[in-house]
Amino acid sequence: PAMKEWDRLRREGKLNAVQASFFQPKPAEQLFDCIADPDNVRNLATEPAHRGTLARFRAANRAHLLRIRDTGFMPEAILRELSGDRSPVEFSRDDAAYPLSRIIDTIDRLQLAPTPATRDLQAALRDPLPTVRFWGAIAALRSPPSFSADLTPLLGDPTPSVRLAAAFAVARH
């Protein structure tokens, strides 16, 4: 059925568990057996039998991201602000300005756990890099509502994308 129809059926409580899952937040990682499960219904990422496969895919993805110096971890406004007169490609190759490995490590710590560790979250929110503060604010969405007080300083952050992410997290809490 069309998505509007699915949404109507969802509101009426008439979807089965698989159909209803399309309306639920997605986990940070998903792993599917595309041959045995071509509709990608059964997420294998949390199953112990598939830890090795997941670890290999994580490592391959990380190596690829570092090799191409992927700038997708930065909101475009932050990328434009930090790159200044340089092209995004040139900027992304400057590890002092764009420490991609550290950014990926931080995002992994904040996003892969069921809830981010308070210590890691607080460190991200105080980080000198706006990209890391941005991801800290996004990860705070998965923290307890009492954590909103830790986001308050970011509401005055000099970087608009960080302020916006913090305001969104505070409002959601």
Ramachandran angles phi, psi of 123, nearest 5°: -65, -40
Residue-wise pLDDT tens digits, 155-165: 999 999 999 99
Residue-wise pLDDT tens digits, 22-58: 888 888 899 999 999 999 999 999 999 999 999 999 9
Residue-wise pLDDT tens digits, 56-79: 999 999 999 999 999 999 999 999
Establish how many alpha carbons lie within 13 A of residue 59's alpha carbon, considering only the half-sphere containing its beta carbon.
Answer: 6
Alpha helices in the chain (DSSP H): 3-11, 17-21, 51-68, 76-83, 88-92, 100-111, 118-125, 130-139, 148-151, 160-172
Cα separation values, 40 from 51, 76, 132, 161, 172, Å: 18, 31, 31, 33, 30
Q: Average pLDDT in the 114-138 region? A: 95
What's the pLDDT score for residue 1? 59
Write out the two tokens for 122.
């607080």
Judge contact between 44 and 55, C-beta under 8 A. no
SS3 at position 49 = helix
Q: How far is CA 107 from the centre of its chain?
A: 7
Q: Residue 81 burial (CB < 10 Å; 0-12/13-18/19+)?
A: middle
pTM score, whole prediction = 0.86
Q: Average pLDDT in the 108-123 region? A: 93
Count CB neighbours of 78 within 10 A. 20
Q: Amino acid identity, residue 137?
A: A
From the list 97, 166, 161, 158, the residue with the least C-alpha distance to 125 is 166
From the list 104, 99, 157, 168, the residue with the least C-alpha distance to 126 is 157
